[in-house]
A and B are shown apart, each in its own frame.
Chain A
Amino acid sequence: MKLNSKVPEGPLEDKWRNYQLKSRLINPANRKKLKVIVVGSGLSGAGAASTLAELGYDVQCFCYQDSARRAHSVAAQGGINAAKNYQHDGDSIYRMFYDTLKGGDFRSREANTYRLAELSAPLIDHFVQQGVPFAREYGGTLVNRSFGGVQVQRTFYARGQTGQQLLMAAYSQLYKMIHAKKVQMFTRCEMLDLVVIDGQAKGIIARDLTNGNLRRFAADAVVLATGGYSRVFRLSTLAIGCNGSAIWKAHKKGAFFAAPSFTQIHPTALPQSSDSQSKLTLMSESLRNDGRIWVPKRQGDTREANKIPESERDYYLERRYPSFGNLAPRDIASRAAKERIDAGYGVGRLKNAVYLDFKHAIEQFGLDTINDRYGNLFKMYQKITGIDAYKEPMMISPAAHFSMGGLWVDYELMTTIPGLYAIGECNFSDHGANRLGANSLLQASVDGYFILPNTINNYLAGKPNAQVPSVEAPAFVIAEERVQAHIDRILKVNGNKTVDHFHRELGKTMWQECAMSRNKSGLVEAIAKIRQLETAFWKDVRVTGHDKEVNTELEKALRVIDFIELAALMCTDALQREESCGAHFREEYQTKEGEAVRVDETFLYVSAWEYNQGDFKLHKEPLHFEFVQPTVRSYK
């Protein structure tokens, strides 16, 4: 199968307009006859569902939480980027495009990345119109700050609650359309399989989490907006319920999986404090705007942070990357922290952290200003650690965060299964091998509000006589039977290990071998371990209760076995890509100074994996850089 990215012709700045001019439209009277399923109700899902409903489509939207308002977009703290150039500091669409492309280490698709930057400015207008209380100057104009990987101020924010505020706007729009009876909402409902008929996506099988009943839903198209899969590491910054099941099932039904091993490790999480921990808490990266990162110059220094004099502190990011300093991109900052920690300079009880110090910022700007900028983050830090970060430095540590990989999509955000779309974090297309800060809310939002509602017409218009299949069609019956058999099989094992045991084991292997740095022998070993874990799961797992009730343990088990299968693909991808780029740091490919070595001659492509009976077959989408020549990514 040849991958067709469907990138439109013409100069970069005209591609999206050219696409829209040429794509097909559907008469409003016909749109209401067309049914679209949206799985997920975060920023991308709620945005897509409400906008599709505004356009007149008949929409069904699903989420596993009790309300769309809980989607994990809620947790993004720092901000959303837009090329508005309000600060008059030389920003432009092109500069934002370039920063994002470079930030992703030239492993993303040029046209998609440009479109992301292009649609950022109208997106801010859109959110302001929806009533998002963005930070303002006294005179009433919008404020910006800067984020890692860029040298301009283009990040808009609503205190440390930007994700929550954008999600509330999207959720409100969604409920407006529910009220208008244009969207049917299914909360506490989890997609467990995709139904494909004649090679096209035609519906889903979902489990009602309140009573365990399996239900069949048919539609003309299915949109997956299910977020990232970094819970494969178990300990991550993601919500506990975030899972990869929907995209994994779609992958097993024929959707290619692109760049699965590109996972961002976020530099500013709270350090792990014990083995029993269930997740890692993210502190907004915006803290790096004013906070300075350091470790003691002496190994194993046990003095309190405030007792270590200036001359004995190593501001290692400022030292190694003088032009970006504390604002170096996430992969660079994470790896630099790991390097210091591994070399014995880590701080904290488990020596697994570095300091993020606001002393200088407070001296320079005053306590009130710092409180205004980051007050809620300081409060959160105190709640969790009991430490007052106004008085002593915070301790931070790298943690698994955003997954840049995801289902392969073309320019229309359609997967390799016609009629199946993937939007937001669950697709792969815009961030390459590393996502810049404050680009995640942006991508989720533009995919959902602006791009998908335009591109889906092009597919649906080609199906004038197509009809939504009956849920009694054989493909639905078979899919439901398989889901039921899978559930029965899990319940029947009745072994002697908990689901969490398997998740912890998987997490340890993945964090060790497929996180901040990877090498050949480690990955080979990891794949073998994951396969053993899969076998052990089916022999030893124990899930109590039954399936026709609220059974949180069963929900977990279904997700963890998918994570185990997905982990094997992630390691396979990391093993195959013999170069270092962005978040993918293969130890065999580095300079003497420890910087990544990209191998453009061999790896200038997107790895798109096809599921092949438990194994994976590689397809390549070559990346063409028509407008920007990939250069060595340097932040020095």
Chain B
Amino acid sequence: MNIIFKIWRQNGPTEKGELKEYLIEGLTEDMSFLEALDYLNEALVLKGEKVIAYEYDCREGICGQCGIFINGRAHGPHDHMTTCQLHMRSFKDGETIVVEPWRAASFPIIKDLIVDRSAFDRIIEKGAYISARTGTAPEANALPIPKLVADKAMDAAACIGCGACVATCKNSSAALFTAAKINHLNSLPQGKAEQHQRVQHMTAQMEAEGFGSCTFTGACEVECPEAISIANIAEMNARKLKANLLG
């Protein structure tokens, strides 16, 4: 396959960026999208040019690092998929593919397609944990958790922190990410003791980081690799209301 890539190049956080065009020939349908970029980078090195900086790590759809905007969609043309799981068979021979970094003020660009998502870590830092010291736990089965509760917690916990929800949201809202973590912990009996502070502190940090408000367009759920439901956001809002009244 021959593909024309239009890729966002930006040398550093404060420098001006632009879309640059690259023709790349001899790709195969079996290649993953990231392998196609690897292939392009090898060609650039041999031409003496700087490689395109992009992120990835596990290439198994779980580490959440490979967020790229492809043809105007987070992680490319399919619903519920990470970039590393996208294969060139999803594109047509001769197609032009526009490749950009995540676009959100709270995710500043570091270089080319790499953005800084540490805002997510700072939201986590504000309460996405259960305060218990190592080595103090009671016997695990002493606290039965009905399957339906455990399953619901697991549905929310599946979030991989990739940032597709933010990138695709017209308001750059981090509501789905934050809600998923809050609902995972708050729905479990272990998480109850700190439930009100958790929802208050984490949502406050989310706002402090400059993420926009949620207006329930549902785009985040479509792009989420784990298909985390936007019902989580409604639930977070209800929990916040409750926390404000009771907390």
The interface of chain A, by Cβ under 8 A from chain B, is: 47, 50-51, 54, 65-70, 72, 74-75, 84, 86, 122, 124-126, 128-131, 133-142, 158-159, 161, 163-165, 168-169, 171-173, 175-176, 178-179, 187, 210, 237, 239-241, 273-274, 276-279, 281-282, 380, 383-384, 386, 449-450, 453, 496, 498-501, 542-545, 549-553
Residue of A74, A137, A140, A176 touching B129 (CB-CB under 8 A): A176
Given contacts A139-B144, A550-B111, contact A126 B137 (CB under 8 A): yes
Residue with the highest number of chain B CB atoms closer than 10 Å, among A50, A274, A544: A544
Given contacts A84-B140, A140-B147, A277-B35, contact A72 B57 (CB under 8 A): yes
Residue of A173, A176, A550 touching B110 (CB-CB under 8 A): A550
Residue with the highest number of chain B CB atoms closer than 10 Å, among A500, A550, A551: A550
Contacts of A274 in B (CB 8 A): 28, 30-31
Cβ contact within 8 Å between B118 and A67: yes
Total number of residue pairs linking A and B with CB closer than 8 Å:
228
Chain A minimum-CB-distance residue to B158: A161
In the bound assembly, the distance between CA atoms of A237 and B63 in angstroms comes to 13
Cβ contact within 8 Å between B85 and A74: no
Cβ contact within 8 Å between A75 and B58: yes
In the bound assembly, the distance between CA atoms of A86 and B141 in angstroms comes to 9
* Further pairs besides A66-B55, A133-B157, A277-B30: 11, Cβ < 8 Å: A65-B63, A74-B160, A75-B63, A125-B137, A126-B134, A133-B154, A179-B125, A273-B30, A276-B31, A281-B59, A449-B135
Residue of B49, B111, B131 touching A176 (CB-CB under 8 A): B131
Chain A minimum-CB-distance residue to B13: A210
Given contacts A141-B141, A241-B57, contact A276 B28 (CB under 8 A): yes
In the bound assembly, the distance between CA atoms of A161 and B150 in angstroms comes to 14
Cβ contact within 8 Å between A70 and B63: yes
Interface residues on B, range: 35 or more
| Chain B 28-87 residues near chain A, CB threshold 8 A | 28, 30-32, 34-35, 38-39, 41-42, 44-46, 48-51, 53-65, 81, 85, 87
In the bound assembly, the distance between CA atoms of A269 and B224 in angstroms comes to 25
Contacts of A544 in B (CB 8 A): 44-45, 48-51
Given contacts A544-B44, A550-B114, contact A131 B150 (CB under 8 A): no
In the bound assembly, the distance between CA atoms of A72 and B128 in angstroms comes to 20
Residue of A86, A134, A384, A450 touching B150 (CB-CB under 8 A): A134
Cβ contact within 8 Å between A141 and B144: yes
Chain A minimum-CB-distance residue to B36: A276
Contacts of B9 in A (CB 8 A): none
Given contacts A125-B139, A383-B85, A549-B111, contact A172 B58 (CB under 8 A): no
Closest 5 CB pairs of A and B: A140-B144, A172-B129, A125-B137, A129-B137, A133-B154
Report B84 CB to chain A, min CB distance, Å. Answer: 9
Residue of B32, B131, B140 touching A142 (CB-CB under 8 A): B140
Given contacts A136-B146, A161-B158, contact A131 B184 (CB under 8 A): yes
Interchain residue pairs with CB less than 8 A apart (28):
A50-B134, A54-B133, A66-B65, A70-B58, A74-B58, A86-B141, A122-B137, A128-B137, A128-B143, A129-B140, A130-B132, A131-B184, A131-B188, A133-B151, A138-B148, A139-B144, A171-B124, A173-B134, A239-B59, A239-B63, A278-B34, A279-B59, A453-B134, A501-B42, A543-B45, A544-B48, A549-B11, A552-B51
Cβ contact within 8 Å between B135 and A450: yes
Report A556 CB to chain B, min CB distance, Å. Answer: 9
Contacts of B134 in A (CB 8 A): 47, 50-51, 54, 126, 173, 449-450, 453
The yes or no answer to B153 lying at the interface (CB within 8 A) is: yes
1/0 per residue, CB under 8 A from A, across B116-136: the answer is 111011001110111111111
Cβ contact within 8 Å between A172 and B124: yes
Contacts of B185 in A (CB 8 A): 131
Contacts of B41 in A (CB 8 A): 553
In the bound assembly, the distance between CA atoms of A427 and B190 in angstroms comes to 33
Residue with the highest number of chain B CB atoms closer than 10 Å, among A179, A276, A281: A276
Residue with the highest number of chain A CB atoms closer than 10 Å, among B34, B46, B124: B124
In the bound assembly, the distance between CA atoms of A445 and B144 in angstroms comes to 23
Chain B minimum-CB-distance residue to A185: B121
Chain B minimum-CB-distance residue to A172: B129
